Amino acid sequence: MSDVLSTYSFRDVNVSFSNTNLGIAILFGGGSTQGVNEITVRMSTDRTTEKVGADGSVMPSAIPGDNGEVEIQVLQTSVAHQQFLNWFNQLITLSLSGNVDNWATTKCFIQLITNGTSHNCSGVSPVKMPDIPYAAEGGTINWVFRCANIYNS
């Protein structure tokens, strides 16, 4: 007989983006309806590489690096999209005046409360303004945020 795994529900995922310097407090999850469709946490650094010698011997290398990305797919007319857009525009406005001090100072925390797994991200900033679809019906928008450090637990 096989074991039954714990039940997954997106309503058990909580997410926060915060930056006290910029007054950013974006919160969603826990059953709220803010138009979030999917969240992906992606590490960027390959932690192992291998160099193969001319004789076929293999030398593995352990590479440090906890950087990565958080990609959040939202509905085109969602509250979440508007919040991310406001944050992005605030960063752009500050940078146009020569102030990039807070560009990558936001923090993001993602937790699945049913089993306690989480991602604690720091040095978070948007990669670019996402592609925006205009079609017969509303679509989704993918916001990608680079993170200088992601701690997985």
Question: Which of these, 89, 85, 70, 77, lies nearest to 140 by C-alpha position?
Answer: 77
Q: What confidence tens digit (pLDDT) does each residue in 65-121 have?
A: 999 999 999 999 999 999 999 999 999 999 999 999 999 999 999 999 988 899 999
Nearest CA to 126 out of 79, 83, 88 is that of 88
At residue 134 the predicted structure's pLDDT band, cuts being 50, 70 and 90, is: very high
Give the model's pLDDT for residue 103.
95
* 112 alpha carbon, distance to own chain's centre: 14
State residue 6's pLDDT score.
83
